[in-house]
Amino acid sequence: MATAKEAELLECRLSVEDLKKLQRLFLQTDGSSVALSMRRAEFIEQAWAAVGHGSREEYGDLFDSVDVSREGWVDWEHLASFLLLGLFEKEEHARTAAVPRWRPARTLPATHGGPVQSVAHLGTSGRYLSASKEGTLAVWSEDLTLLKTHRLANDSVMPKDLWVTGMVLLANVNKIAVSFTCKEVCFYDLLSKQEFSCQYKVHSLCNTPISLHYWHHPQRPEQAVLSIGDVAGQVSGLCFRSALISLFERPSMSVEHDSVVSISWAELQQGRHRCCYTVTHTAHGAHWVRTVRFLGPLEAFASCSSASQSSLVLAWKEVSTGPLRVTSFHTEKGLADLDYHPGLNLIATAGLNNQVCLWNPYVVSKPVGVLRGHVTSVVAVQFMLAKKQLISFSKDKVLRVWDVASQLCLQRLAGIFPKTPECKMLVFFHEERSRLLLSFNSVVLLLQAQEDTGRRVASHDSSVTCVLYNSLFRQVISSDSSSGVTCWLMDTGQKVKHFPRCHGDAEITTMALDETQTRLFTAGTDGAVKVWDFNGHCHHRLNAGRGVAVEISQILVLRRTVLVFGWERMVTVFRLNMFSKYFVEPSEWKGAVHHCNDILCAAFRPPQTLVTGGSDGEIIAWNNSTENALRKLSLGKQQHLLKFSSDSAFCKTSAVQPSTNSSAPGGEEDPESVTRLVFLEGRKGAAASVGGADLVSCGGSGMVRFWNTANSCVVGEFVAHKDSGSIILTVDSRGRYLVTADMDGWLKVWDIQEYCIHPAESVTNQMPMLLSSLRAHIDCVTHLETCVHGEQLFLLSASADSSLVISYLPGPTIGIFGQEVHWRLGEVGRATLKEEREANPESSQETTAPAVVRETAPEQVHPDPDSAVAAVCSEAEENDGQADMLQLSILDDRFAVQGRSFKKGHGIWQSDIRQHLYVNGAHSTDIGTFRELRIEELDPVDELTKPDFVINPHLYFEKMWESFTPTPPPPAVTRETCLKAAFDERSLFPKDVLEQVDRPPGLRRYTQKVTVMRNDARAIHRNVGCVCVCVFFSPPIFFFTQS
């Protein structure tokens, strides 16, 4: 798919019919084969008139692009060549920029007792070989099923002292070479009658060999080179002249053919074997040679070590038996691995300084490219030759895929590898089968890349890591692994803003918005959280990792604090009163450490409830105001109150059951890990008080659990995605729809409005009703977000396939952000509804019997909203017994709902909103002071039957009615009946005040005060016709009212 910039070019919008019209312009009218040529003005007018779309300026730009030599004319040959070249480059770029889509990681059966030293692929048979330190050689089938194991034999040492340091395949002669710590290299035949019989043994090497590599000439396979690197910094090359005939000369015919031929290294150096010779260099000094390669196109040995002055050494083999010409490359802290791409002529190195460097073999001064993003030392690199991509693996078990041309990170994988301590890690990529094998000590993990299903619209240049909806600006915000943030218009899917390199070379892992939705919080793998406005200005930098590069999984922005989680067992808190400076340091969390493993996710419910989930499956509830832990949510019925003040006390308590899968030996995420926590806002007041669920969680085993936080127990659980590994989820704001997503790109929407509302004696294992299931992505879904836009409910999903998809909830996919054709949300809804009505013209009149799966959701028109709610509820009750059997796959843009009808343009039902307001007969509100109150819905009152004496009172009370004299009404209160007593100022003022009148003239201030009060009283008497004095004691208050 063309990028946004390419989509604006005219040549990207020309169809096949348009090209035929342009071709006819250059043909002779008389049918001759001579092609015509056109000047610029003539081409613009005729092409614009023939094609019928585009502007004259665009045709002028097309002419200028074709006429690069500025001759002033073009013909069909030049125009066609330009178009074909442009399409080829675009196709090549789309192919190389495709992100690998890995299937869930699979662990191979445990066969090795020690660390795996090497893995090789047998091209002829399709089998795989793996050799471990103790000498075990495992043979795997083409589908990586274990066939057999073999114990390598070496008569030089005892079996218990055998130590294998490396293995390499000699593909052209069907042999393998194995190096040992006893300074020997043995050659085993793969085609002999006795399996893996040793034919040759090269002994008495100068030093212990630890790295092997074999190369043979593709056109002249008799020429081959075996490269050896040892612990003393020496690189040796064993060059074979006639490898297809014999690697080494046999001593004589008297020696048995099946016996082992022993050759000393001194004999080879002295040239006693005419079929081979040796070359050596010691440019690495005394440092171990970590990796050695013979680069056939360059005729040079490439090797690396941990020395900073001779990190990378190229030894050029200019003359057959002459000395090597050595070239040294210097890096900081040295290198751990290297690989070579012959097509690009680039050497990739894995640096101990956390960087991956790309080197031109002829440029020694500096690398031509530096790939930054890893936070620990890189241990392995390997090229994907066909896609021109690079795989790198770091010590913290993070795998990255890079685009070599753009030097951008396309993909980042973490959290799926075994949680083992310090270990030997090995990376082997099989190009033909797109298989990646990784070893962690004795554990071998397989990552299988899926086949490309064609080009797909990409919203970002790399994996999308997070998506948010900003209702203030009506925009969608997304982030990617290349540290970019993009803003999109929700109504059309058009890109409006892009902020590159927000965290430099670090990946953005998660984002959050503040309460005003004017500040954006972004978290990177560099351990920093940045606060941005939407003009691209960074206001604050929060030092969450305390100067250390860590991976942040979630940010919670609350009213007074900002909570950060992801890399440790403690909650990292920032007080908003500390945001007066640019650099903000974390404050101390008052609560103790109660998690035994890293906190991965959290959820908050006003006013003060906070829950956190760990990688070992623990869920702990906190009081966010006091920052004290309240309880641990357990899978059992008993409650676990947390009263521990230290980390050790909590981790040793019997209430915590350690997970048996904490190490995740399968290479997958811990099955008990908690990846998402969401409060069910629509039912928080009703369900929790009666024992129902008010919290939902999911984890690494595809399991979804519903919790009651008041009783600290699980009330319902079910497997949402089988055999899919880790999943994520989200819930809409009303708590009706649950959306789950897995690592294969599948999205499932569940109806949980009535799920686990009432308490039960045991845990409910029945699945809620599945409303829809569709594959919106072709790779792992990284984030989900629900939003209400234009009174409709939508779902936003981000994926590692670099796409950002918008869908109706529940409903079909609308489009991908960044696609060439923009959508209109209102028009899409009306158009889709029209298509459904045209496809099912009788759906509004016919109804089908209840079934497990309905091919088409019939339209049912209810004139009364209440009747519509009743119909939906009754239908749901009928299908409740079969809800767990519902499986619906939506593979296109159509939409079907099981067991109920859907209308209103794939938005929210009007009756749905009304039905949702009452959960278990109680009204629930999400906001306001009385959000925790339950307002019961009144029971319907039947029509009352009036008794006959009420209808006909004259038949029963005739005499009483005639003799009854109505009581006259009370007399009206008029002005004449009001109080007419004379106003007496002595009855109004206190006695001590009135006595001031008779005081001596010297006390004039009292006399003046009394005179003023007396005058005021007379004015009241003149203006008030009636004065009612009401006296209330403690204290007395006088009220004057005018009648």
Say which residue, 566 or 990, is predicted with more confidence. 566
- Sign of the CA dihedral 877, 878, 879, 880? positive
Strand partners, 370: 357
Q: Which pLDDT band, with edges at 50, 70 and 90, does 768 fall under?
A: very high
Range among 5-19, 256-270, 775-789 rated most confident: 775-789
Element containing residue 1011 per DSSP (H, E): helix 1004-1023
In whole angstroms, what separates CA 152 from the centre of its chain? 45
Phi/psi of residue 1029, each to 5°? Answer: -105, 120
Say which residue, 631 or 421, is predicted with more confidence. 631
Q: Could you identify the residue written with the tokens 């909830």?
A: 809
Q: Could you identify the residue written with the tokens 């994926």?
A: 799
Asked if 446 and 105 touch (Cβ cutoff 8 Å), the reply is: yes
Strand partners, 261: 200
Average pLDDT in the 218-225 region? 92
Helices (H), 32-154: 40-51, 56-66, 76-96
Q: Please tell me whether the overall predicted TM-score, pTM, comes out greater than 0.95 for this model.
A: no
Average pLDDT in the 291-301 region? 94
Report the relative pairing of strands 197-203 and 261-264 from DSSP bridges: parallel
pLDDT score recorded for residue 62: 87
Asked if 393 and 378 touch (Cβ cutoff 8 Å), the reply is: yes
Q: Could you identify the residue written with the tokens 């829809």?
A: 772
Pick from 699, 702, 698: which is nearest to 678 by CA?
A: 698
**What length is written for the chain?**
1043
Average pLDDT in the 849-876 region? 35
pLDDT at 773 over 50: yes
Q: Which pLDDT band, with edges at 50, 70 and 90, does 235 fall under?
A: very high
Asked if 815 and 824 touch (Cβ cutoff 8 Å), the reply is: no
Work out the widest C-alpha separation in the chain, in whole angstroms: 156
pLDDT score recorded for residue 971: 53
Burial of 762 (0-12, 13-18, 19+ CB in 10 A): exposed
- The span from the CA of 588 to the CA of 515, in Å, is 23
Q: Which pLDDT band, with edges at 50, 70 and 90, does 359 fall under?
A: very high
Average pLDDT in the 574-587 region? 91
Strand partners, 510: 523
pLDDT score recorded for residue 205: 93
Say which residue, 527 or 949, is predicted with more confidence. 527
pLDDT score recorded for residue 370: 93
Q: Could you identify the residue written with the tokens 């043909």?
A: 27
Say which residue, 797 or 896, is predicted with more confidence. 797
Strand partners, 128: 121, 140
Average pLDDT in the 991-1007 region? 59
Rg (CA), the chain: 41
Say which residue, 12 or 152, is predicted with more confidence. 152
Asked if 571 and 542 touch (Cβ cutoff 8 Å), the reply is: no
pLDDT at 926 over 60: no
pLDDT at 1030 over 50: no
pLDDT score recorded for residue 184: 94
- Sign of the CA dihedral 434, 440, 445, 450? negative
**How is residue 1003 annotated by DSSP?**
-
User: Would you call the peptide bond into 607 cis, given omega within 30 degrees of 0 as the criterion?
Assistant: yes
pLDDT at 975 over 50: no
- pLDDT tens digits along 366-404: 999 999 989 899 999 999 998 889 999 999 899 999 989
Range among 548-562, 816-830, 1027-1041 rated most confident: 548-562
pLDDT at 747 over 90: yes
pLDDT score recorded for residue 724: 76
HSE-up of residue 831 (Cα within 13 Å, Cβ side): 9
Q: Which pLDDT band, with edges at 50, 70 and 90, does 972 fall under?
A: low
Average pLDDT in the 199-221 region? 93
Lowest-pLDDT range of 347-351, 485-489, 912-916: 912-916
- Sign of the CA dihedral 622, 626, 630, 632? positive
- pLDDT tens digits along 85-122: 777 666 666 665 577 888 888 899 989 999 999 999 99
Q: Which pLDDT band, with edges at 50, 70 and 90, does 664 fall under?
A: very low
pLDDT score recorded for residue 537: 92
Say which residue, 988 or 625, is predicted with more confidence. 625
162-173: buried (b, 16+ CB within 10 Å) or exposed (e) per residue?
bbbbbbbbbbbb
> Which strands sit side by side in the sheet containing 136-140, from one edge to the other?
116-121, 128-132, 136-140, 146-151
Which percentage of the chain shows pLDDT scores above 90?
A: 38
For residue 1040, CA distances in Å to 78, 977, 994, 1016 come to 103, 17, 21, 14
pLDDT at 984 over 90: no
pLDDT at 617 over 90: no
pLDDT at 304 over 90: yes
pLDDT at 830 over 90: no
Asked if 459 and 478 touch (Cβ cutoff 8 Å), the reply is: yes
pLDDT at 450 over 80: no
Q: Which pLDDT band, with edges at 50, 70 and 90, does 722 fall under?
A: confident
Pick from 667, 618, 682, 607: which is nearest to 647 by CA?
A: 618
Which percentage of the chain shows pLDDT scores above 70?
A: 72
- The span from the CA of 298 to the CA of 321, in Å, is 17
Lowest-pLDDT range of 47-61, 913-927, 995-1009: 913-927
Say which residue, 232 or 1006, is predicted with more confidence. 232
- The span from the CA of 76 to the CA of 27, in Å, is 9
pLDDT at 999 over 70: no
Give me the chain's average pLDDT, please.
77
Lowest-pLDDT range of 7-11, 776-780, 1031-1035: 1031-1035
DSSP-assigned states of every residue in 830-870:
HHHHHHHHHH-TTTTT--PPP-SS-SS------SSHHHHHH
- pLDDT tens digits along 14-70: 888 888 888 888 876 665 666 688 888 988 888 888 888 888 888 888 888 888 888
- The span from the CA of 450 to the CA of 425, in Å, is 24
pLDDT score recorded for residue 892: 35
Say which residue, 843 or 944, is predicted with more confidence. 944
pLDDT score recorded for residue 97: 58
- The span from the CA of 565 to the CA of 598, in Å, is 8
For residue 680, CA distances in Å to 684, 715, 752 come to 6, 14, 10
How big, in percent rounded to 5, are the helix, strand and coil portions of the chain? Answer: 15, 35, 50
pLDDT score recorded for residue 449: 86
Lowest-pLDDT range of 239-243, 275-279, 442-446, 891-895: 891-895
3-state secondary structure of 724: coil
